[in-house]
Amino acid sequence: MNQQRLLFGILEQLKLKQKHMRSKRYTNSVDTPIKQRTFIIVDEGAELSPDIVGSNTEAKQYAKFCQGALSEIARIGGALGYRLIFCTQYTTAQAVPMQVKMNIVARLSFVAAAQISSRVILDDVGAEELPSIPGRAIYKVEKNRIVQVPYINDSFMFKHLEGLQHVIINTK
């Protein structure tokens, strides 16, 4: 499983960076000359939920490892310059691990089907009442803000990412 190897590698990098920062007496990458940030993007995090993947024992073990790794990245990665972007369309408590949710700095919710979905992502209602305008969302850091984000189609994305394959890891 490529994702499992990738997450294991990220955890190893995390431990090395933590050791390096301790040796320099750094407590947070923000307060250091280190400018590099590593973004870990999980597209459809619900696929990594042991409660959702089905009854296959191997799939459940895999999902438990992935959720544990993402929880560790969310808990200690921020101070080390790692930024977790966790995405899901299946907004239930089972899809968003509590350790990840509690360490999310910013949240973005597009139109939600129900109040419960809005509460899972934002810890607040409101996303279920957003108008049906593509790209309309609620962005939350310390408070909710209604924002408009652009729609980026595949051709635009591929055109602008051309030549950047060396910095993008795709496990598909």
What tens digit of pLDDT does each residue of 68-117 get? 899 999 999 999 999 999 898 878 777 888 888 888 889 999 999 999 99
Residue range 1-19, pLDDT digits in tens: 577 788 899 999 999 999 9
* SS3 (DSSP) at 86: strand
How far apart are alpha carbons 154 and 159 in whole angstroms? 8
Residue in 153, 116, 106 with CA at minimum distance from that of residue 134: 153
Share of the chain above pLDDT 90, in %: 45
> What is the pTM for the complete model shown?
0.79
Token readout for 156 is 């635009």
Residue 72's pLDDT is what? 92
Residue in 103, 49, 93 with CA at minimum distance from that of residue 73: 103
